[in-house]
Amino acid sequence: MKLLIKNIKSLVQTETQAQKKVVGSAMKQLSCIGDAWLAIEDDKIAGFGKMEDWEGISDWTNLEVIDASDKLVMPSWCDSHTHLVYAGSREQEFIARIKGKSYEEIAAAGGGILNSAKLLEETSEDELVAGALIRLNEIMHQGTGAVEIKSGYGLSLEAELKMLRVIKRLKTLSPLTIKSTFLGAHAIPAAYRGRKEAYIDLLINEMMPRIAEENLAEYCDVFCENNYFTPEETIRILQAGKKHGMTPKVHAEQLSNYGGVLAGVKCGAISVDHLEYVGDTEIKALLDSSTMPTILPGAAFFLSLPPPPARKMMDAGLALAVASDFNPGSSPSGNMNLMIAICCIQYKMTPEEAINAATINSAYAMDLSETHGSICVGKQANVFITKEIPGYGFIPYSFGSNFVERVILNGKVVKD
Ligand code: NIG
Ligand code: FE
């Protein structure tokens, strides 16, 4: 099967050689080709160039041609941080917050993550798959082509395995590329209140071996925060995860400057995520590491948190990734177009920086930058065609709209 997209107004984020990530001031650059063509063969990008250099079609067998006049072609968004397998919803907590309660107060009263854990316990694996497929379909229509999904609303051996088995099934059911993360250390479950040590033992001694045995997770994540897991506990859990083949990730510096970034860097985390309370010490540590700092504008926006110092991090020479954090408590949206808009509007990132953050750098944060995150020959053919828009800056500018017209994943048109 071959696909040719011709007369493309602008082919965005092209690379002649695949880069692992884009760092610091290089994030200001976004390589584009005007009046371009893109060829796809089977599930891979086969070639691209300017229309004037196009040699025409010699073999029409199994070839589909799409005319993209006045439209852009972009690499699919990569969303390296979500919790999109969940049960029910939490708009009652949202309303309580509108009336003045804080996220922390709601959590301390048994709401928050524990609320989602209770709902998930009552929901079957099949129902969870069905709910998650609806959300995957929604983000696919908004341009996302690769996504990481975490457990962490189970908080017991059986329920964590249930979540991770759901993610495993989603990998076969959805055309999106999916990565799986074990986040048993998301909260201390009600049954272990006052016995955190015993819960950590359960995570390490019982959950991890089973997860490794069934090959259910590529990553291990910890919510490193006051009233959740300390930096020391985070390191212990992540080191144990590494022994079971899971690469570390951390929920870090979201509600306070608590030490999650340093813990993550120490363990060689692939990414540290949130970062609202990052300071100079964390920036310095990240500069000496291969860890991808990842901001989650949906959660900061929805919880009215202070903005992460995105500008300062990039100006210091750091790479930056952006992800949605799609979850029922702190970011009930997985719309990467909106995440990019918040990056530009509130964090003063340029559209180029935001697009690099949402493609190649977010791909890096889930070990996908060799195959995803840019238009490069040999990469997975995961792209979208926009509606007729003036340029890529129009996407964050017209926030709240969806300009994704057609989606191509693994070389196949999945949205027409
Ligand atoms: O990434 N910070 C911790 N975990 C999630 C929120 C989970 C929830 O409230 O359900 C987050 O924001
Ligand atoms: Fe999260």
199 and 146 in a single domain? The answer is yes
172 and 132 in a single domain? The answer is yes
Picking from 174, 12, 14, 13, the residue whose alpha carbon sits closest to that of residue 82 is: 174
Any atom of ligand 1 within 6 Å of the Cβ of 254: yes
254 Cα nearest atom in ligand 1: 2
223 Cα nearest atom in ligand 1: 3
Write the residue with the smallest CA distance to atom 12 of ligand 1: 330
The rounded Å distance from CA 128 to ligand 1 centre is 18
239 and 298 in a single domain? The answer is yes
Total tally of structural domains belonging to the chain: 2
* Cα–Cα distance for residue pair 147/83, rounded to 1 Å: 10
* Cα–Cα distance for residue pair 361/30, rounded to 1 Å: 13
147 and 24 in a single domain? The answer is no
- At 59 the pLDDT is 84
Chunked mean pLDDT (size 10), the chain, 416 residues: 96 97 98 98 97 88 95 98 98 97 94 97 98 98 98 98 98 98 98 97 98 98 98 98 98 98 98 98 98 99 97 98 98 98 98 98 98 98 98 97 97 91
- Sheet of 177-185, strand order: 77-79, 144-150, 177-185, 219-223, 247-252, 271-274, 292-295, 321-322
- Asked whether residue 50 is domain-assigned, the answer is yes
Q: What is the domain-level CATH number for residue 168?
A: 3.20.20.140
Any atom of ligand 1 within 6 Å of the Cβ of 103: no
Q: Ligand 1: which of 113, 151, 183, 250 to mutate, judged by most atoms within 8 Å of the beta carbon?
A: 113
- Asked whether residue 369 is domain-assigned, the answer is no
Specify the pairing of strand 77-79 against strand 144-150: parallel
Write the residue with the smallest CA distance to atom 5 of ligand 1: 330
- Asked whether residue 264 is domain-assigned, the answer is yes
Any atom of ligand 1 within 6 Å of the Cβ of 329: yes
Q: Are 298 and 264 in contact (CB under 8 A)?
A: no
- Asked whether residue 236 is domain-assigned, the answer is yes
Which residues, in sequence order, are CB contacts of 397 under 8 Å at separation 6+?
341, 344
- At 56 the pLDDT is 82
Listed residues 364, 387, 406: the one ending a domain: 364
328 Cα nearest atom in ligand 1: 10
Write the residue with the smallest CA distance to atom 8 of ligand 1: 329
250 and 337 in a single domain? The answer is yes
The rounded Å distance from CA 325 to ligand 2 centre is 5
123 and 245 in a single domain? The answer is yes
- Asked whether residue 194 is domain-assigned, the answer is yes
| CA 35 from centre of chain | 31
Picking from 307, 304, 305, 282, the residue whose alpha carbon sits closest to that of residue 293 is: 282
The rounded Å distance from CA 269 to ligand 1 centre is 19
223 and 241 in a single domain? The answer is yes
The rounded Å distance from CA 274 to ligand 1 centre is 10
- At 60 the pLDDT is 87
172 and 295 in a single domain? The answer is yes
Q: What is the domain-level CATH number for residue 378?
A: 2.30.40.10
The rounded Å distance from CA 113 to ligand 1 centre is 7
276 and 392 in a single domain? The answer is no
- Asked whether residue 202 is domain-assigned, the answer is yes
303 and 169 in a single domain? The answer is yes
CB contact burial 260-269 (16+ within 10 A = b; e otherwise): bbbbbbbbeb
- At 416 the pLDDT is 78
Write the residue with the smallest CA distance to atom 9 of ligand 1: 329
411 and 267 in a single domain? The answer is no
**Nearest ligand for residue 81 CA:** 2
Any atom of ligand 1 within 6 Å of the Cβ of 369: no
Q: In which residue are the tokens 């009046």 written?
A: 35
- At 111 the pLDDT is 95
258 and 120 in a single domain? The answer is yes
Any atom of ligand 1 within 6 Å of the Cβ of 299: yes
**Nearest ligand for residue 116 CA:** 1
* Cα–Cα distance for residue pair 177/14, rounded to 1 Å: 20
- At 319 the pLDDT is 98
Q: Ligand 1: which of 251, 275, 301, 324 to mutate, judged by most atoms within 8 Å of the beta carbon?
A: 251
Residue 399's domain comprises 2-75+374-415
- At 415 the pLDDT is 81
